[in-house]
Amino acid sequence: MQQHIAKYHRRRAKWASVAVLAALAGAALSACGSANNPDQAATTAPSTFHAVTQSSGSPITVWVDSTRLPGVQQYAKTHPGVKLNIVTYNGDADGSNYLQTKIELFNRAGSGWPDVVFSEEYNDASWSTGSGTDWVAPLDEGLVPQSTLADFAPNALAPCTDDGHVYCLRNDIGQNMLWYNATLMKKFGYQVPTTWEQYEALGAQVAKQHPGYIIGSVGDAWTPEVYFWASQCPANQITGNTVSVNTSNQNCTKMASLLDAGVANKSLTTQSAFADSFVKQYAAKTLMLIGPSWYGQYVFNAALHVPAGEVAAAPPLTWAGQATPTTGDVGGGIWMVSKYSKNLSAAVALAQYMATNNAYQLTAPTYPAYQPAATAWLAAQAKQHYFAGNVSSVFTQAATEIWGGWGSGRYSQENIWAATMVPRITNGATISSLLGTWQTAIENQAQSFGYKVG
Amino acid sequence: MALSLRARPGDAPVLPARPRARRGASRGRAGYGFVSAYFVLLLLFGVAPTVYAVWLAFTNSSGQLVGLGNFTEVLHDYRFLPAFEDVAVYLVIWLIILVVAVVGLALMLHGRLRRASAVSRFVFYLPGALAGAASALVWMFMLDPSVSPVAWLLHGLGYSSFADVIAPQRLPVVFAVMAFWTGAGGWIVVMYGALNNIPGELLEAARIDGASALQTAWRVQIPLLRKWIAYMVILAFATGTQLFVEPQLVGEASLGEVSDSWSPNQLAYQYAFHSNNFNDASTVSIYLLILGLACAALVVFRTGLFEAGQ
């Protein structure tokens, strides 16, 4: 803008610029094209993939976040034949859009793409295969063996799949389960709930008998994935290029009422489990938290500093009478390979190693999406003796119960919830009263990303 | 206005005119030499991108001219009007605080606080030396009741968490405070310089006529500062409509509790880097350019900012 302001210093220049603008506008008005930018409209991904000319032995560039960095460094050490150029970035986490920004610029420049990318946002896969963006290689067409792909946890590759092809390898999954402080539960004489109804009743009991203690949080962006996904709320159904949203469905409304009751009696907090204020207020008063598999280490251990031997996990809750138990999923990173890579075999080998090889996955802080690695990972976790009892069976069970009806679009449900719902909930509005607002926000966002809303 | 701001006390006496014919031509060439480096950079990084943005705004992704199609498309985006509303509220708050506080503080520095003036000017300027992103981070720390050194004040105002502080209705004030803290210092120094340009005999005359400090400020100093204030308003308006760093960082720090298209500039960013739509992104920037031009034209014509030799 500075340069525009400079124009004001001379009136003539200003009027000249106005004239130029007017002339351009005139030319433009007599134009013929359509304003609809086709980039926005999604089309199906190409079914046959043509790699660029390969040059074996050429260096590959990998973008990785700090958590995954040691794994890649280890790979570089054990594979001295591969020329690796390692770039650390923020993993595209927390809505930073760093990856999108760079890739769009590389797309415009026609060069510069990294060969392998790790992203903490699995939505990046759908975004990457969008027609205007379209920069990732389909891995199921001869690059990664079908037998390997088949060993990922059920639905773990769903976010990677577009038009029948797999475009990324899932690093980890965040299957939700019921985390609880076994020591506190025993002290208070409470039973661990198995149904949502029992959970709600326990909330009311806690509110009366032990006010100040909480059994969950509805204060952050993961609320839809933790509660509404588990409840099979059809808020995020994506078929091809159509998004269907129905937040007035009973599966949504009954969960909203349950959460509202908890917020009203203060057994559920509206503070985010990741806020400093949460740690201060609830470090010793978190009776339960429903959340992903990584909550145990990240929240209870690292943030709340709950001593070893107190935290335990229980299987995901179900509604009374629900035939098949279902749960949601929070996060889980992905490995993508550029379709412009000049050394696809080396790029795919690295991505596959990181996602599936025990040598790395056993050291990973999160639950591997690749099932053989997950089994070994659980055994390694059990040796750390942080949790009260063995959580392996809960992890394994929850991983198979992720409901497949929650889509993975180019937009982020987390962003929508955070910007639209969290401030209103913090302000005292009930979730039930906001379901319509949520629906509109999702539909608007989906449309702005080129989806049809049906 | 009777007085010209261009006449500075202590200006050198007028020198006899130099023989133009002999040295004029070479001096002109040297001038071009000095300007050319800047001019090339301006063309490359200022004018060319602007022209490219105008081109993108009137075409679609296939490069076809689409008339005002992008403009109507963007106008009908559900995020467009809210973004401009957000920034309008922010601008009203910020510009008022900026004008009142900057002029007020500069007058005080120039008058009562003269003895401590050099130190104060330096201290006022200091936050401005901090890059925008860094100062936004400092403010996020200040505004989080669980870590803020002024937590008692935030609790007193009824805010118990960061989410409370950044509730949507408070965001314009929060951003205005951040912007003021980083931006005002530089302007205070500029205003102070402008005040120094007011001839001492004028102020003395006012004093002899029995004007109080307040009357002198209101009737002599502020009218003479009018053009400087206008200049500040134009630039502040332009930077204000382009608000980006503060909402973006607060949004990320709060895990998304600020809409990612809170300000028009963020909306443009969303278009370009999330929807792969550089045409609509450029269109938003052209809307901002038109707004900036309109504001500048209004202020320039109303205050006679560039009218020379009155």
Q: Where are the domains of chain A?
A: 60-173+331-382, 176-328+411-453
Mean pLDDT by 10 residues, chain B (310 residues): 39 46 64 89 94 95 90 94 95 94 89 72 76 79 89 90 88 91 86 88 89 88 90 90 90 86 94 89 95 88 70
pLDDT bucket at A32, cuts 50 / 70 / 90: very low
Q: In terms of Cα–Cα distance, which of B178, B175, B181 is closest to B126? A: B181
Q: Tell me whether the CATH fold assigned to A60-173+331-382 matches the one assigned to A176-328+411-453.
A: yes
pLDDT higher than threshold 70 for residue A24: no
Q: In terms of Cα–Cα distance, which of A370, A366, A404, A371 is closest to A159? A: A404
pLDDT given at position A339: 95
Determine, yes or no, domain membership for B114: yes
Token match 């909550």: residue?
Answer: A295
pTM above 0.90, yes or no: no
Pick the CATH number of A176-328+411-453 from 3.40.190.10, 3.30.750.200, 3.20.20.70, 2.70.70.10: 3.40.190.10
pLDDT given at position B131: 67
pLDDT given at position A311: 96
Determine, yes or no, domain membership for B59: no
Do B146 and A280 make contact, defined as CB atoms within 8 angstroms? yes
Query: What does each C-alpha distance from B74 to A257, B131, B188 come to in angstroms?
Result: 37, 31, 38
pLDDT higher than threshold 80 for residue A39: no
pLDDT given at position A435: 97
Q: Is B256 on the interface with A (CB under 8 A)?
A: yes
Least confident of A91-100, A206-215, B89-98: A91-100
Of residues A6, A280, A419, nearest to B260 (C-beta): A419
Domain span including residue B90: 77-303
Of residues B62, B257, B259, nearest to A33 (C-beta): B62
Tokens in use for A420?
Answer: 């639209």
pLDDT given at position B22: 52
Q: Which residue of A has its CA nearest to B43?
A: A3
Least confident of A80-84, A307-311, B224-228: B224-228
pLDDT bucket at A260, cuts 50 / 70 / 90: very high
Tokens in use for B95?
Answer: 């510009």
Determine, yes or no, domain membership for B22: no
Give the number of other CB atoms < 10 A from CB of residue A381. 20
pLDDT higher than threshold 90 for residue A368: yes
Determine, yes or no, domain membership for B166: yes
Phi and psi at residue B33, in whole multiples of 5°? -60, -45
Using a pLDDT cut of 70, give the percent of chain A over it: 89
Do B163 and A272 make contact, defined as CB atoms within 8 angstroms? yes
pLDDT given at position B98: 94
- Compute the average pLDDT of residues A107-130: 92
Tokens in use for A221?
Answer: 């962006």
Q: Which residue of B has its CA nearest to A415?
A: B256
Mean pLDDT over all residues of chain A? 88
- Compute the average pLDDT of residues A216-237: 95
pLDDT higher than threshold 90 for residue A242: yes
Q: How far is CA B149 from the centre of its chain?
A: 29
A60-173+331-382: what CATH class? Answer: alpha beta
pLDDT given at position A130: 84
What is the number of structural domains in chain B? 1
Residue pLDDT, tens place only, A412-433: 899 899 999 999 998 899 999 9
The C-alpha of A189 sits at a distance from chain B's nearest C-alpha, in angstroms, of: 32
- DSSP letter string over A350-377? HHHHHHH-HHHHTT-SS-BSBHHHHHHH
pLDDT bucket at A61, cuts 50 / 70 / 90: very high
Judge residue A304's burial from the number of C-beta atoms within 10 Å of its C-beta, 0-12 exposed, 13-18 middle, 19 or more buried: buried
Do A34 and B78 make contact, defined as CB atoms within 8 angstroms? no
Is the CA virtual torsion B276, B278, B279, B281 positive or negative? positive
Residues of A in contact with B237 (CB under 8 A): none
pLDDT higher than threshold 60 for residue A331: yes
Token match 């070479």: residue?
Answer: B26
Specify the CATH number for the domain of residue B271: 1.10.3720.10
Q: B27 vs A274, which has greater pLDDT?
A: A274
Are the C-beta atoms of B184 and B124 separated by less than 8 Å? yes
A46's CB contacts (< 8 A; 6+ apart) are: A134
Q: Any idea what DSSP says for residue A190?
A: P
Determine, yes or no, domain membership for B8: no
Determine, yes or no, domain membership for B157: yes
Determine, yes or no, domain membership for B235: yes
Strands (E), chain B: none
Query: What does each C-alpha distance from A77 to A82, A143, A251 come to in angstroms?
Result: 9, 23, 50
Phi/psi zone of residue A60: left (φ > 0), alpha (ψ -120 to 50 degrees), beta?
Answer: beta
Helices (H) and strands (E) in chain B, counts: 15, 0
Determine, yes or no, domain membership for B308: no
